[in-house]
């Protein structure tokens, strides 16, 4: 859509589509990385994330140079490098969680993880209903532009709500007060 609005040549559509297909594995790595990072942050293991990210950054820089510039693989080389970097981060952080037993960070799988799952399901369903509403509203008006604007606004407002709720320590009264202040 962006390329079409800016009046770019057709080749950019083809290249963007090819790159997007090659980037699909990164989405799965990101989906795994998000809860892993939240887990490590909750355990106060931020330094571990720093070291893992720094190590992968060094590897990413080398492989970007190798695949994109030296071997001249172009966009496919960039996609392979990005995918590999994300998966290395996920694997390294998982290895840290499973192998180290420091400070009770990981005690194995337990059924206690599913206790009080109802609150999570309620929040997920509410988010899904809001997202469905925005999509159906954009579809009703047959507007791709409205689709993009509503999705962007929904995601930004949702992310802001999550950040404010996290910053207030998950306390409802503080969350309500800070959201009214915004």
Residues 111-155 have pLDDT tens digits of 777 777 777 677 767 766 766 666 666 666 655 555 555 555 555
Q: Global pTM?
A: 0.59
Three-state DSSP class for 86?
helix
CA distances for 24 relative to 30, 32, 35, 127, angstroms: 10, 13, 19, 23
Residue 165 and residue 53: Cα distance in Å, rounded? 26
Residue 92 and residue 37: Cα distance in Å, rounded? 12
90's CB contacts (< 8 A; 6+ apart) are 29, 32, 33, 36
CA angle 147, 167, 150 (to 5 degrees): 5
Share of the chain above pLDDT 90, in %: 26
Tell whether the model's pLDDT for residue 81 goes beyond 50.
Answer: yes
Rg (CA), the chain: 21
């Amino acid at each position: 859509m962006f390329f079409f609005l800016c009046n770019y040549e057709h080749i950019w559509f083809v290249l963007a589509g090819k790159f997007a297909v090659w980037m699909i594995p990164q989405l799965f790595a990101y989906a795994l990385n998000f809860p892993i990072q939240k887990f490590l942050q909750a355990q106060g293991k931020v330094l571990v994330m720093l070291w893992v990210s720094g190590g992968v950054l060094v590897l990413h820089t080398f492989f970007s140079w190798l695949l994109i510039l030296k071997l001249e693989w172009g966009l496919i080389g960039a996609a392979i490098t990005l995918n590999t970097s994300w998966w290395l981060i996920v694997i390294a952080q998982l290895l840290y969680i499973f192998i180290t037993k420091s400070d009770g960070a990981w005690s194995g799988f337990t059924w206690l993880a599913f206790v009080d799952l109802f609150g999570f399901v309620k929040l997920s369903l509410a988010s899904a209903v809001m997202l469905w509403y925005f999509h159906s509203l954009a579809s009703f008006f047959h507007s791709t532009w409205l689709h993009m604007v509503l999705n962007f606004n929904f995601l930004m407002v949702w992310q802001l709500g999550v950040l404010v709720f996290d910053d207030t320590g998950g306390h409802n009264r503080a969350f309500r007060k800070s959201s009214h202040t915004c």
